[in-house]
Chain A
Amino acid sequence: MYSWIFRNLPGPLWLRIIEALILIAAVVLLLMMYAFPWLNQYISPFTDSTIGQSTQ
């Protein structure tokens, strides 16, 4: 999968390496800003500080 993406990036090798890094950075940023905050509603291993309340 990743080798296919890398082969199909346009440009010479050095450009494709830069493109790949930008793609990785974009995916990480999307995860951090949107996917993880959403996921946090369902799986939050560290965040439960209240007491005697069933909602959290």
Chain B
Amino acid sequence: MNRAATATGRRAVRRRQSAGSRVVGFFGELLITLGIVLMLYVAWELWWTNIDSANAQNEVTSNLVQELGDVVIPEADHPQAEEEKDYGPAPITKIGPGETFGIMYFPSWGSSGIYHPVTEGVEDAVIDNLGIGHYPTTQQPGEKGNFAVAAHRQTHGQVFWDIDKLHEGDKIYLQTKKGYYTYTWYDTEIVEPSNGEVLLPVPHQWGMKPTESILTMTTCHPKYTTRQRMIAYSKLTDWRPLDAGPPSEIRDLVAKATS
């Protein structure tokens, strides 16, 4: 059969379709297309946003590392006495608007610990791509009261994915230009999304004067929904200056983040 004959045959088949069936067929294709686009959107949310977020986080982290200058990493066989030295009360890290001011380390999460940059602000522009955002209305690191941060549970880097896996004594570290703040987890609760009381200087206590520094992490709960919020509280238990080097638990993580 030659090419011209095939083309004629095709045209003949097409002519047999009525105008009505052509219209129905067109709408059918539109609906199928819409379904596929919606599925792609879910794929984008669950998968692509993590890649975008990882890239943006790497960028702000390496910018911050440059600002911090040379980070001291002690030898692996660092003497224990030096490790447990008391450096006194923690200073306050002053945060500028929109500034990426720190890196948070979670040695108990993932297979060998993870870290994420912390930026001032909790608007979409921050927490969709830059990892962790600090509520500007709450206190600064080292200040008496509540240093409260937010991050996504799923999608956009799924930063706080493992928030339900914190156990008694688990440590969370914050590295800023002042030094390393050590926070020790002590409680987790699940609240309604409107419950802003968890951000008070003393959570749930209006007008109470804070006597200690805490870290409050807020994120979505349950996983893959936004129905509730999971709130994890940790207490500031230790501090050491940058040039004393990182606490031994996060030595390798800091080396990885700042290399």
Contacts and interface: CB of A to CB of B under 8 A. Distances in A.
A51 B44 contact: no
Contact of A50 (B45, B154, B218): B218
A1 B29 contact: yes
Given A7-B10, A31-B44, A32-B48, A48 B122 contact: no
B217 to A, nearest CB: 10
B196 A55 contact: no
A47 B155 CA distance: 7
Interface in B33-70: 37, 40-41, 44-46, 48-49
Interface in A33-47: 36, 39-41, 44-47
B196 A56 contact: no
Contacts of B29: 1-2
A51 B196 contact: yes
User: Which of B10, B224, B226 has the most A CB atoms < 10 Å from its CB?
Assistant: B226
A48 B226 contact: yes
Contacts of A49: 127, 150-153, 160, 218-220, 226, 229
Contacts of B193: 48, 51-52
B229 A46 contact: no
B231 interface: yes
B124 A41 contact: yes
A53 B44 contact: no
B191 A46 contact: no
A28 B154 CA distance: 22
Contacts of A41: 124
Given A2-B29, A7-B10, A32-B48, A51 B128 contact: no
Contacts of A36: 40-41, 44-45, 48
B146 to A, nearest CB: 12
B198 interface: yes
A56 B46 CA distance: 19
B211 interface: no
Contact of A51 (B45, B123, B231): B231
A29 B128 CA distance: 20
B127 A46 contact: no
Interface of B: 10, 26, 29-30, 37, 40-41, 44-46, 48-49, 122-124, 127-128, 133, 135, 150-156, 160, 191, 193-199, 218-220, 224-226, 229, 231
